[in-house]
Amino acid sequence: MIAKKIRDFLPEADLLSYCTAILRVYNLYGRRDNKYKARIKILVHETGVEEITRQVEAEWQQLKDADLKLPEADIRAIDAYFAPPALVERPEGDEAVKLARLDSKSFSEWLDQNVVTHRHPDYAAVTISLKGIGEAPGDASDSQMEAVADLAEKYAFDELRVSHEQNLILPHVARADLKAVYDALVDIGLATANSNLISDIISCPGLDYCALATARSIPVAQEISLRFASLERQREIGELKLKISGCINACGHHHVGHIGILGVEKKGAELYQVTLGGSADENTSVGEIIGRGFSSAEITDAIEQIVETYLGLRLDRNEKFIDAYRRVGPAPFKEALYAGEAKAA
Ligand code: SF4
């Protein structure tokens, strides 16, 4: 389910009391009769967002000026933990990047794919892809982690973030240092220039490691990554979020993947159900199941078929997969995947 907004703005000081009001409403009216429905999303869905909002606001009126109001000193103390680093002017970055681009095509591709602008013009944010072609998504060795920690210390104000997309981010790198960072990443095998491309797959551990799984995820991700190994082909396809979960718990966020793959078990065999059209950005949508599941031997071909269908129907290179899907809907994809079966039947 997609979350509903119940308030546009809340002063920091009221955060604890407002969350408490939400929990009280949930505690009072949540479905205790059925453990599968004892979720706040079910309560919101069954009650309606207007009524839930009314109940929360009414509860909050009782709480908001009492003990849970956060003192200003506490808010400032928390703020201090997230203070931005002391960035210094590094205006030589533009020229350095220009020269390095001329010198190295692979650096230039990495720059286009894995580096985004920073609010300070002399800096950039760098995504370190943990999606080497054919590798288990999100994996890094101890020596790679040591090396990345050194890079963060030397070039990124000792700051390193782990993204939900199973990559690492150096949030503040001077543009003048980008080539040095890139060279160091090449040395440790972490310079894959595939951020936001089809091989930048989110995959849960699946049956290889997770006791709850109904199917394997990692080998599927690896096979798809290998099928689309060519960076040129990936860039031609453009932005495409592919996400895989090994069971309905959805740790791989398959339901919000442009292409989602859900591993299920049917009569002792692993099957992969495909959803299309999911998105986790500001235009959130939950993907639609497009038809029968595929076996592990079929799933990579099915994904390739979906991608080829998209390439055949997009208006031009600027129309991303998700936009094309929203324009045409599931029909052309179903036709491409299942038409032969329908005729045979
Ligand atoms: S989605 Fe399922 S299989 Fe994958 S990590 Fe979560 S619980 Fe385990």
Ordered by where they begin, the domains of the chain are 12-81 (no CATH), 93-187 (3.90.480.20), 202-339 (3.30.413.10)
What is the reported pLDDT for 342? Answer: 65
- CA 254, CA 203: separation in Å to the nearest integer? 9
Query: Could you give the angle at which helices 15-29 and 40-47 cross, rounded to 10 degrees?
Result: 80
Residue 206 C-alpha to ligand 1 middle, in angstroms?
A: 5
- CA 206, CA 138: separation in Å to the nearest integer? 13
What is the reported pLDDT for 343? Answer: 66
Residue 101 C-alpha to ligand 1 middle, in angstroms?
A: 41
Question: What would you report as the CA-atom Rg of the chain, rounded to the nearest whole angstrom?
Answer: 24
- CA 58, CA 98: separation in Å to the nearest integer? 58
- CA 132, CA 166: separation in Å to the nearest integer? 12
User: 309 with 324: CB under 8 angstroms?
Assistant: no
- CA 118, CA 120: separation in Å to the nearest integer? 5
- CA 6, CA 3: separation in Å to the nearest integer? 9
- pLDDT of 344 above 70: no
What is the reported pLDDT for 341? Answer: 77
Provide the total of helices (H) and of strands (E) in the chain, helices listed first. Answer: 13, 10
Work out the pLDDT band at 76, boundaries 50, 70, 90: very high
Is residue 249 lining ligand 1, measured as CB closer than 6 Å?
A: yes
- CA 341, CA 345: separation in Å to the nearest integer? 6
Q: What is the mean pLDDT of residues 107-125?
A: 97
Residue owning the nearest CA to atom 6 of ligand 1? 251
- CA 171, CA 175: separation in Å to the nearest integer? 12
What is the reported pLDDT for 261? Answer: 98
- pLDDT of 289 above 90: yes
182, 192, 250, 244: which is closest to 216 by C-alpha? 244
Backbone φ and ψ for 280, nearest 5 degrees, come out as: -115, 20
What whole-number percentage of the chain has pLDDT above 70? 99
Is residue 205 lining ligand 1, measured as CB closer than 6 Å?
A: yes
DSSP structure class, residue 170: E
Is residue 212 lining ligand 1, measured as CB closer than 6 Å?
A: yes
pTM: 0.92
Residue 245 C-alpha to ligand 1 middle, in angstroms?
A: 6
Query: For residue range 220-259, what is the model confidence (pLDDT) as tens digits?
Result: 999 999 999 999 999 999 999 999 999 999 999 999 999 9
- CA 102, CA 207: separation in Å to the nearest integer? 45
Q: What is the mean pLDDT of residues 161-182?
A: 97
Q: Is 48 exposed, middle or buried (0-12, 13-18, 19+ CB in 10 A)?
A: exposed
Q: What 3-state class would DSSP assign to 328?
A: helix
Is residue 191 lining ligand 1, measured as CB closer than 6 Å?
A: no
Listed in sequence order, the DSSP H helices in 175-298 are 178-187, 218-227, 231-237
Backbone φ and ψ for 125, nearest 5 degrees, come out as: -105, 135
Query: For residue range 16-54, what is the model confidence (pLDDT) as tens digits?
Result: 999 999 999 999 999 989 988 999 999 999 999 999 999
